[in-house]
Structures are given as structure tokens and as C-alpha cells.
Amino acid sequence: MERWPSLWTWLTVEDGEPTNNAAERALRPAVLWRKSSFGHQSETGEQFVERMLTAVATLRLQGRNVWRYLVETCEAARCGEAAPSLLSQAPT
């Protein structure tokens, strides 16, 4: 019962949500991909999938174009340059 007050924190926090629906919605594309693709067959494949799903989710949350980011990343790798940042770009 010592955690009982924690259950009601969302009432006192501005914009607090009583559910974890946002987290569930964020994970849903990864779960659907895993169920339809047989997962991965190696540790390298696992790392690739983790990174791609993270990049796609991050870019979508920022409202950035995923395809454009991937093209820019491939172009940078081909030219020996650093990949573009996944961090949100502050408007100038």
C-alpha cells in the first residue's frame, strides 16, 4: 500500500495521463513488424532492427521525413562524412 499515492500522481501533474497508451502506440509498429517478418537471424540483424525502429520512431515524433533522413545518411556514409543527427533541430 506504500505505492498507492503513486497511482494518483497523474491527477496532480499538468497534462498527466492516467494510462500508458502513448507508450503502447509507440511500440505498436515494432510489434507488428516482428510478428510479420520472422524477426532477425543474427545479433547484427537484431542491432540493425533496433536502430532502424528507433530512428523511424524518433523521426516521426519530430515530424521529420524518414526517407529523406535515410537518403542523407547513406549519402554521408558514401562520402565518408558523419551521419545526420537524430536530435531535434531547433528552428533558426
The answer to whether the beta carbons of residues 29 and 57 sit under 8 Å apart is yes
Contacts with 88 (C-beta within 8 Å, 6 or more apart), sequence order:
62
Q: Kindly report which listed range (19-23, 28-32, 42-46, 67-71) carries the lowest average pLDDT score.
A: 19-23
* 78-84 long-range contacts, CB within 8 A, separation 24+: none
Grid cell in block for residue 47: 542491432
pTM attached to this predicted model: 0.65
* Rounded mean pLDDT, 57-84: 94
Alpha-carbon span 46 to 66, nearest angstrom? 20
